Chain A
Amino acid sequence: MKYLIKLTAILLGSVFVYTSCIDDLDTEPIDPDETTASAVFDEPGAYKAFLAKMYAGLAVSGQQGPAGMPDISGIDEGFSQYLRAYWEHQVLTTEEAIIGWDDQTIKDFHRQEWGSSDNFIAAMYYRIYYQITLANEFLRATTEDKLDERGESDQTKAEVAQYRNEARFLRALSYWHALDLFGGGVPFVTEDDPIGSFMPSPINKQNLFEFIESELLAIEDDITAVGANEYGRADQGAVWTLLAKLYLNAEVYINQDKYTECVTYSKKVIDEGPYTLEDNYEHLFLADNDHLQEVIFSINFDGIETRTYGGTTFIISAALGGDIPPAEFGLGGGWAGTRTTKALVNKFDANDGRALFYDESYGQALEINDESDFQQGYAVGKFKNVTSTGAPGSDVTYPDTDFPMFRLADVYLMYAEAVLRGGSGGTVGQSVIYINYLRQRAYGDASGDINSGDLTLDFILDERARELYWECHRRTDLIRYDRLTGGDYVWPWKGDIPEGTATDDKYNLFPLPAADVNANTNLDQNPDY
């Protein structure tokens, strides 16, 4: 009898233990750096921190600098950074640069020989979609209803409304990159789509163009006025500049003439914005190039606070090596990868101050016979981690140098080109004046000035190279002139031949990554890939 009682007691005890322990299965994160989706917006400043992540997505590769807690996987974290990937797609594929490393398929860029399993192309693609889904998530989490649910104040609501405009700008920017790099057959998702396992449907060029345009037009008057926002954040000026770019390339994207609209928006930037050209061209690309009057929108880096192995760390370090003293770049050492071809070098006159090259006097040969030899091809000393007074940046590995994505000089050139292509609202005379502003800055005096007879489309293409080289514009420009692929314009190592040769037209677009075409059966691969 005694034993039966004991047995019952044990069994009852186990039942209590059982019921209390079953609840233990519902664990919640106890790490102070992690919160659940329901609790995160209880913190003040959470909305701005989320906004900061959307901008930081262009600069860093994860939640830890320079590496660690990456945003996307399957590729080295440095390789996967947005600006670095964008630079490789926009600059390495043109006459502006060549790279000597053996990392996977990186040489395929300057050879124009890439395929659909290229990891760098996949990184760019996934980065673009990372930005897009981030923006979508922000918009989903900050609807009027959600803000009311959380009982936010009117002041917070007003701030968040501005953040939403900026999120839409950043999403439009990434969709424009998608349209420009991958064409119209890319997957399309907005804040109306869920998170989970489903296969997004592809869009087409026309609809994607119209989406980007409509988004920008929708926020144009609501977003912070031109020049009025904090440094680093998008404003009306950024929206106008992106619209101008979209319209300038409309013939490439959707076969429509939108040059008038391009002129309209270029004028808005030039006339209504507080932007003025920087006196010294070099200062635009140095360690203290933040808060400059010429820059409309930039991606910002800092040696201590915003560290990455991509971004300007890549742009500056890859360009340094051989006999170039690292101290001139403000770094401890370089990665010896990127140089330029003679096709770019030969565009410059002797007195053009924008020709920032390291030549034979530093052991760099002009001709490139071996792609892998850093000392073949002039090195480029445009981006550096020293300040305008010559002092080094705050860190010898991670530069302070910001990257000017949109600047006034670009808008002057867009205005001129749109006018020449038949856009109304501007004049050739005004175009010449703007171009000469750039030339006077470059030459230090009027010796490089042009007249209206010199202003041809070919001249503008070359001038864009001289003014904007290595700033991620070249590939788009060459495509607009139909000179990226094909045999009309060849440069060293195009097509994997030292003298350069014609390449297939399919290379005007990058392939959708094989991994995504495989994962999403709704997508069709770009032609001939």
Chain B
Amino acid sequence: MEILKTNTLRFLLMVGLLTITSAMFAQKTVSGVVEDEESNTLPGVNVTIKGTTEGTITDSKGQYSIQVPGNDAVLVFSFVGYMKEEIPVGDRTKIDVALFPDIESLSEIVVIGYGVTKKEDATGSVQAIDSRDFNVGAITAPQDLLTGKVAGVQITSNSGAPGEGSTIRIRGGSSLSASNDPLIVVDGVPLAGGGISGSRNPLNAINPNDIETFTILKDASATAIYGSRASNGVILITTKKSEVGSELKVNYNGKLNVYSSNKRVDVLGADEFRSLIEERHPTHVDMLGNASTDWQDEIYQNAMGTEHNVSIAGAYKMLPFRASVGYSNNDGILKTDNNERFSGSLNLNPSFLDDHLKININAKASVTNNTFADRGAIGAAIQHDPTQPVNWDTTFTGIPILGETDWGGYYARLQSNGQPVQLATANPVALLEQRDDKSTVNNFIGNAKIDYKFHFLPELRANLNLGYDYSKGEGDVYVPQNAAFAYNSGHGGGTDNTYTQIKKNELLDFYLNYVKEISAIDSKIDAMAGYSYQYFLDDSYGVNSNVANDSSETTYPDNPKELVLLSFYGRLNYTLANKYLLTFTLRNDQTSRFSPDTRSGMFPSIALGWKIHEESFLSNVDALSQLKLRLGWGVTGQQDIGPDWYVYMPRYTYSLPGASYLFGNTYYQTIRPSGYDENIKWEETTTYNAAIDYGFLNDRITGSVDIYLRKTKDLLNYIPVPAGSNLTNYINTNVGDLENKGVEFSINAKPISTPDMVWDVGLNVTYNENKITKLTLSDDPDYLGVPTGGISGGVGSNIQIHSVGQPFSSFFVYEQIYDDNGDPIPGAFVDQNGDGQITESDKVHKENPTPDVSLGINTGFSYKNWYFSFSGRANFGNYVYYNAESVNGTYQRLYRPEGPYLSNVTTGVYDSEFENAYYMSDYYLRNASFFRMDNISLSYKFNNIANQGINLTVTGTVNNAFVITKYDGIDPEISGGIDNNFYPRPTAYVLGVNVNF
């Protein structure tokens, strides 16, 4: 009996031991590598065992190793910005995982003024666009990355020249005389507005490849924190940085661009021109030539460009860094036009004291060399007599030539004494080739940001940002004495100008930020208070001279000016139950521009947010992943009233050469007291904004709808003051009100999202209308308004007007009367007031250059290693005045007595049959609604070439592929609405290569 009990015990023990052992043997180690969708390794990924709190994190190489209890364990991989993956272990010991970006949470953290927030907690109208969404192709100017991507933001390039600047408008303009440009902040440093001499675009100093994100702040509750400079919206630019623990990444990005355009103004050919002169000016046929020249073809070319960018990012011990160098060189389709840029950037962001002290140092420098083609060649090419050759040829041996010169070999119309006819059309090719107009712009933007989380109070953070922005633009213009278009019989002619402009901006920004979760009341408080000091200096000087550098030279001496802006600001964010959000900001700005009595301005804002989808009554609606209501109100200011930085002070100005006066036998310099307004003060804009942010199907579809109303009062306007009351007739003073209202709608959807195939589509639509509600101190109904919109044709003619009750820059024209065939009757306009005369009172307000509705559409489709995308834009309701036609489409242009010389006409003259010019007729006002395909792109990615971990992507892009419009001028997209010899925008064919090492 005893033996049996012992045996059973032993057996049970053995079974038990076996069981335990086998269980012990079931526990194993699983390891592997985690990568992202581009096969880059991902450090810092959380790897946890589902249902437990055990876990680990991937190392700097993305590798992990974890003990799992058995084959039925499930590993959960999660990382901020990426979709969570749950993978059953099974019998594997090596599990490699690829994580895919989470659409919504990629924009989870957005940069706002002085800080960051989660997008879902943002109460203002904030839109972030990061490098994945940027426009592709031949992009030299940073703002082109954004065109068409954001509702409410209109970016119109100023011409087709390489590296050209753009007009950026956020929710329409809110000023008349003051600047309508948004404030641009680069890594926390607000840039001085305006450009610099010699530069095509002040933003070109930043290489687009170095930009990580654009954040656009649209409504006052988002922008009020920038107070006095924020009335037109704020664009925050953040440059690329590296993270702690990253491994070394090297990237090369190269592009080859080919530009071409076949856009031409339709003018008469040589034979047609010849017969028209013979018919209408038979006494002047001796002025015709024997050649047949298409002048527009002579000035345009197919152009090439190239771009190379190299960047290295990584971390050296505790110092993450990113360094980049870039080179781009683009020719323009107008011959001799060129833009070349060398750029470099360095970014360091180490953190010390266990992440309590974070330092971020950014430095960006660039050297841009521009060669400016004389754009007068565009107008000259339209007007030049087509029967003359580009260069003198043997048929001209009979013409006497002055002295030894043959004017550089270029044809020029000459008088009988051999001197050029002064007012004749210049030879367009001579204008391009004989004029040497170059500039170099050096630019440096740097800042150092120190962020310290207090050890004794970790909820409190101090942030100090010191910034410095320096630009110097220098250039010269040289035209030789033998250029016919610059001839001067008295002084030898030619041009020898030099110019320099220096701008400096120094910033000191300091704020304290306190964030505390108070679970007792289910609340979170985020409070911030700060101080900002910014100093601006602007100086320019130069010499305008002829080649002989004689007494007709004019020197523009040094004229430096300074501006100081000082502010105190604070913000309070209160969140209740993670559902109800309140933001309150207040900023006090002081500027040296205004007198001590008026220089201080207070700019408050309040915003409310309600995360409706977090409410219990919506928790069962699975399809709705996000629904947030945002209401905002805020007041912002504007004090950028133009080039005079001391406008409130009485000052005297000395005269420059050429404005002296003779007493006896001596010429005296004069001094002049300037007009001033000592009461000048801020323009204020109040914005009301209501919006819904929505998301469906787990954020597969997201978007927002915004409705806004902006009212500007105390508009700074350059208006006539009562004669005799001041020392000049127009003063910049506060008088006038303006209103802007509109709706923005945007939607982004990801119809297909699988590991092999992704398709996303985005659409944004904006409707905006503006109206001037007050212009002068008294409201005289007979007062027509302030003329604006200068055109060619007569001197000082204006085609637009700012009037009360109308959108600003409305066209102000005579209504043309047409006959039964639909042809205009020359000189016949509707007599609006029936007084038998056609005068200013018969002009009507008709349309305006700003579109009523603008739309952007973009889509991308990827299948395995292929990626196809296109992005396009449309404007509706924008009108353009076709000035090139109103000047050149009349028969009286054929013979010009002020030369005399012959001038070409457009084929439009056969439609209008106008003998004389009627610049003010609405016959020339055209609907320029359009749809433009901004880019179409196809790329293929080669992964892990030669097993070295090198990825290569090859992309082909077409920029400005086509434009659909009824407008028959060169281009319907013209900021300001006046088409006067517009420099065509080329189509660009780009081959790009992107290599990651």
A contact residues vs B (CB 8 Å cutoff): 3-4, 7, 10, 14, 17-18, 21-22, 24-37, 40, 46, 48-50, 52-53, 55-56, 59-60, 62-66, 68-69, 71-76, 78-79, 101-106, 113, 115, 117, 119, 125-126, 129-130, 132-134, 137, 187-189, 193, 195-200, 230-233, 290, 300, 302-307, 321-323, 325-327, 332-336, 372-375, 392, 394-397, 513-521
Query: Nearest Cβ distance between residue B774 and chain A, in whole angstroms?
Result: 13
A102 x B794 contact (CB < 8 A): yes
A304 and B551 in contact (CB under 8 A), knowing A36-B650, A72-B729, A115-B841?
yes
B652 x A40 contact (CB < 8 A): yes
Q: With A and B bound together, what is the CA distance between A4 and B455 in angstroms?
A: 11
User: Is B134 located at the chain interface by the 8 A CB criterion?
Assistant: no
A73 x B730 contact (CB < 8 A): yes
A196 x B726 contact (CB < 8 A): yes
A27 and B645 in contact (CB under 8 A), knowing A102-B793, A305-B658?
yes
Query: Nearest Cβ distance between residue A337 and chain B, in whole angstroms?
Result: 8
A232 and B664 in contact (CB under 8 A), knowing A25-B564, A189-B725?
yes
B658 x A307 contact (CB < 8 A): yes
- List the A side residues contacting B514 at CB < 8 Å: none
Query: Nearest Cβ distance between residue A131 and chain B, in whole angstroms?
Result: 11
Name 5 interchain pairs, CB-CB below 8 A, sorted by A. Answer: A53-B661, A104-B794, A195-B650, A231-B663, A516-B720
What residue of chain B has the Cβ atom nearest to residue A375's Cβ?
A: B897
A-B pairs, 3 with minimum CB distance: A65-B658, A333-B422, A336-B898
A520 x B723 contact (CB < 8 A): yes
A374 x B654 contact (CB < 8 A): no
Interface residues of B in 558-601 (CB under 8 A from A): 558-564, 566, 590-592, 596, 599
A302 and B592 in contact (CB under 8 A), knowing A518-B780, A521-B778?
no
- List the B side residues contacting A22 at CB < 8 Å: 566, 590
What residue of chain B has the Cβ atom nearest to residue A71's Cβ?
A: B728
A396 x B488 contact (CB < 8 A): yes
- List the A side residues contacting B510 at CB < 8 Å: 14
B670 x A197 contact (CB < 8 A): no
Query: Nearest Cβ distance between residue A134 and chain B, in whole angstroms?
Result: 7
Query: Nearest Cβ distance between residue B277 and chain A, in whole angstroms?
Result: 16
Given A195-B727, A196-B678, 12 more A-B residue pairs with CB atoms under 8 Å apart are A24-B564, A25-B599, A36-B651, A56-B659, A60-B661, A126-B723, A133-B726, A189-B725, A300-B662, A306-B661, A332-B487, A519-B776
- List the A side residues contacting B662 at CB < 8 Å: 231-232, 290, 300, 302, 305-306
B670 x A49 contact (CB < 8 A): yes
- Which of B592, B720, B898 sits near A374, CB closer than 8 Å? B898
Q: With A and B bound together, what is the CA distance between A50 and B510 in angstroms?
A: 48
- List the A side residues contacting B668 at CB < 8 Å: 48-49, 52
A230 and B728 in contact (CB under 8 A), knowing A24-B592, A27-B646?
no
B729 x A74 contact (CB < 8 A): yes
What residue of chain B has the Cβ atom nearest to residue A199's Cβ?
A: B722
B656 x A65 contact (CB < 8 A): yes
B892 x A372 contact (CB < 8 A): yes
A132 and B596 in contact (CB under 8 A), knowing A73-B718, A231-B663?
no
Query: Nearest Cβ distance between residue A480 and chain B, in whole angstroms?
Result: 27
A333 x B899 contact (CB < 8 A): yes
A52 x B660 contact (CB < 8 A): yes
A30 x B562 contact (CB < 8 A): yes
- List the B side residues contacting A200 at CB < 8 Å: 722-725
Q: With A and B bound together, what is the CA distance between A516 and B897 in angstroms?
A: 38
Q: With A and B bound together, what is the CA distance between A69 and B780 in angstroms?
A: 31
Q: With A and B bound together, what is the CA distance between A71 and B596 in angstroms?
A: 27
A30 x B724 contact (CB < 8 A): no
B726 x A195 contact (CB < 8 A): yes
B725 x A305 contact (CB < 8 A): no
A133 x B727 contact (CB < 8 A): yes
Q: With A and B bound together, what is the CA distance between A77 and B649 in angstroms?
A: 24
User: Is B679 located at the chain interface by the 8 A CB criterion?
Assistant: yes
User: Is B900 located at the chain interface by the 8 A CB criterion?
Assistant: yes
- List the B side residues contacting A306 at CB < 8 Å: 658-662, 667
Q: With A and B bound together, what is the CA distance between A132 and B566 in angstroms?
A: 40
B660 x A37 contact (CB < 8 A): no
Query: Nearest Cβ distance between residue B659 and chain A, in whole angstroms?
Result: 4
A29 and B561 in contact (CB under 8 A), knowing A62-B659, A72-B729?
yes
Most buried by B among A49, A198, A336: A49
Q: With A and B bound together, what is the CA distance between A513 and B782 in angstroms?
A: 12
Place the interface of chain B in its size category: 35 or more
Query: Nearest Cβ distance between residue A345 and chain B, in whole angstroms?
Result: 20
Q: With A and B bound together, what is the CA distance between A492 and B663 in angstroms?
A: 41
- List the A side residues contacting B780 at CB < 8 Å: 517-518
User: Is B919 located at the chain interface by the 8 A CB criterion?
Assistant: yes
User: Is B419 located at the chain interface by the 8 A CB criterion?
Assistant: yes
A198 and B722 in contact (CB under 8 A), knowing A21-B566, A230-B663?
yes
- Which of B655, B670, B795 sits near A79, CB closer than 8 Å? B795
Query: Nearest Cβ distance between residue B161 and chain A, in whole angstroms?
Result: 26
User: Is B677 located at the chain interface by the 8 A CB criterion?
Assistant: yes
- List the B side residues contacting A517 at CB < 8 Å: 780
- List the A side residues contacting B795 at CB < 8 Å: 76, 78-79, 101, 103-104
B659 x A3 contact (CB < 8 A): no
Query: Nearest Cβ distance between residue B2 and chain A, in whole angstroms?
Result: 76
User: Is B392 located at the chain interface by the 8 A CB criterion?
Assistant: no
- List the A side residues contacting B726 at CB < 8 Å: 133, 195-197
Most buried by A among B454, B599, B720: B720
- List the B side residues contacting A10 at CB < 8 Å: 462
Interface residues of B in 77-136 (CB under 8 A from A): none
Q: With A and B bound together, what is the CA distance between A16 and B719 in angstroms?
A: 42
- Which of B557, B654, B678, B777 sits near A63, CB closer than 8 Å? B654
- List the B side residues contacting A334 at CB < 8 Å: 898
Q: With A and B bound together, what is the CA distance between A481 and B591 in angstroms?
A: 60
B531 x A519 contact (CB < 8 A): no
A66 x B725 contact (CB < 8 A): no
B722 x A519 contact (CB < 8 A): yes
- List the A side residues contacting B664 at CB < 8 Å: 230-232
A518 and B778 in contact (CB under 8 A), knowing A117-B840, A306-B667?
yes
A68 x B655 contact (CB < 8 A): no
B656 x A76 contact (CB < 8 A): no
A374 x B897 contact (CB < 8 A): yes
Most buried by B among A26, A64, A103, A372: A64
B653 x A63 contact (CB < 8 A): yes
Interface residues of B in 485-538 (CB under 8 A from A): 487-491, 508, 510, 531, 533, 535
User: Is B552 located at the chain interface by the 8 A CB criterion?
Assistant: yes
Q: With A and B bound together, what is the CA distance between A232 and B670 in angstroms?
A: 14
A392 x B673 contact (CB < 8 A): no
User: Is B671 located at the chain interface by the 8 A CB criterion?
Assistant: yes
B591 x A32 contact (CB < 8 A): no
B660 x A305 contact (CB < 8 A): yes
Q: With A and B bound together, what is the CA distance between A117 and B812 in angstroms?
A: 14
User: Is B657 located at the chain interface by the 8 A CB criterion?
Assistant: yes
A520 x B722 contact (CB < 8 A): yes
User: Is B753 located at the chain interface by the 8 A CB criterion?
Assistant: no
A304 x B650 contact (CB < 8 A): no
Query: Nearest Cβ distance between residue A497 and chain B, in whole angstroms?
Result: 13
User: Is B797 located at the chain interface by the 8 A CB criterion?
Assistant: yes
- Which of B415, B679, B797 sits near A197, CB closer than 8 Å? B679
B794 x A72 contact (CB < 8 A): no
Query: Nearest Cβ distance between residue B538 and chain A, in whole angstroms?
Result: 10
Q: With A and B bound together, what is the CA distance between A189 and B727 in angstroms?
A: 12
User: Is B917 located at the chain interface by the 8 A CB criterion?
Assistant: yes
User: Is B25 located at the chain interface by the 8 A CB criterion?
Assistant: no
User: Is B784 located at the chain interface by the 8 A CB criterion?
Assistant: yes
Q: With A and B bound together, what is the CA distance between A132 and B724 in angstroms?
A: 7
- Which of B531, B661, B676, B916 sits near A18, CB closer than 8 Å? B531
User: Is B275 located at the chain interface by the 8 A CB criterion?
Assistant: no
- List the B side residues contacting A35 at CB < 8 Å: 651-652
- List the A side residues contacting B489 at CB < 8 Å: 332, 396
Q: With A and B bound together, what is the CA distance between A189 and B725 in angstroms?
A: 8
Q: With A and B bound together, what is the CA distance between A189 and B724 in angstroms?
A: 6
Query: Nearest Cβ distance between residue A372 and chain B, in whole angstroms?
Result: 6
